[in-house]
Amino acid sequence: MPIDLPPQIRTSPTLQKWLQQAPDVRREIANDPSFRTRFRVGYGLSNPGASSAVVFGMEDLRLGQTPIVLSAHGNSGGTVSSWGAEAQAYLLPLGGYVNVAPVVGWRSLSTSSAQSQGVNLGAKLLLVPSRGGGTDISLQQTWVNPGNEQEVGIGKVSVGYAITPKLRLATDIERWQGRSIFETRASVLLEWIP
C-alpha cells in the first residue's frame, strides 16, 4: 500500500538515495569516522607568568582507511612553548559516540626555567555527541619522557563546536606537571574542516 507523503518529503535527496539503495548503517558506524580532520589556529595563555602565544595545529588526519590518525601542534611567541606530533590508533568503531586510543608521539616543552622533550606516551578518550564534526569532547593524559627525571605529565581537555559546516570554535585546557615544570595552559581556537 503506497504511503501518501507531502511533496517536500517525496523530493528529499536523502529519501531518494535511500529508495535507490538502503544504507548499510552498521558498516558506516564501523568505518565512517564520527570525527573530522581539522586545521586550527588561535590564542593561548599560560599560567603562572601569563605568557601568551599564537597556537596552531592539525588534528585527526586519518591514514587511509585505517583507525590510525595523526595530530601535530605548536605555538609561537611567549616564554612558554610547546610543539609535538603524535599518532593515535582508535580501538572502537570509528563512527561511534565513544572511542579510546593509545597515544604515541614526540613532545617538546619549554618554560623560562625548565624544559623537557622526548617520547610522549598515553591515552585519549573521545566523546562525540554530534557525528561529523558538529561537536566533540576529548580527554587525554600523556607523559613526556616517562620513567626518568625529566618526566612531565600532561592532562588535556578539548571541546569543539561547529559554527558552520566548515568552521568550529574549540577550547583546549592543558595541565603540565613534572619535577621542574608546572604550567596550566588555556587556548581558544578557530578550526577549519577541509
Q: What pLDDT digit, counting tens, does each position of 102-114 carry? A: 999 999 998 878 8
Which residue's entry shows cell 596550566? 184
pTM above 0.85, yes or no: no
CATH superfamily assigned to domain 24-192: Autotransporter beta-domain (2.40.128.130)
Among left, alpha and beta (phi > 0; psi -120 to 50; other), residue 136 is beta
Copy the grid coordinates of residue 184: 596550566
pLDDT digits (tens, 9 = 90+) for 37-52: 999 999 999 887 678 8
* Structure confidence at residue 147 as a pLDDT band (50, 70, 90): confident
pLDDT digits (tens, 9 = 90+) for 58-84: 999 999 989 999 999 999 877 788 999
Q: Indicate whether 149 pLDDT > 90.
A: no
Q: What angle do CA 159, 160, 162 make, to 5 degrees?
A: 155
Count of H helices and E strands in the chain? 3, 10
Q: How far apart are CA 111 and CA 50, in angstroms?
A: 12
Predicted local distance difference test score (pLDDT) of residue 98: 94
AA letter at 44:
G
Give φ, ψ of 9 to 5 degrees. -80, -40
Domain ranges of the chain: 24-192
Q: Indicate whether 132 pLDDT > 80.
A: no
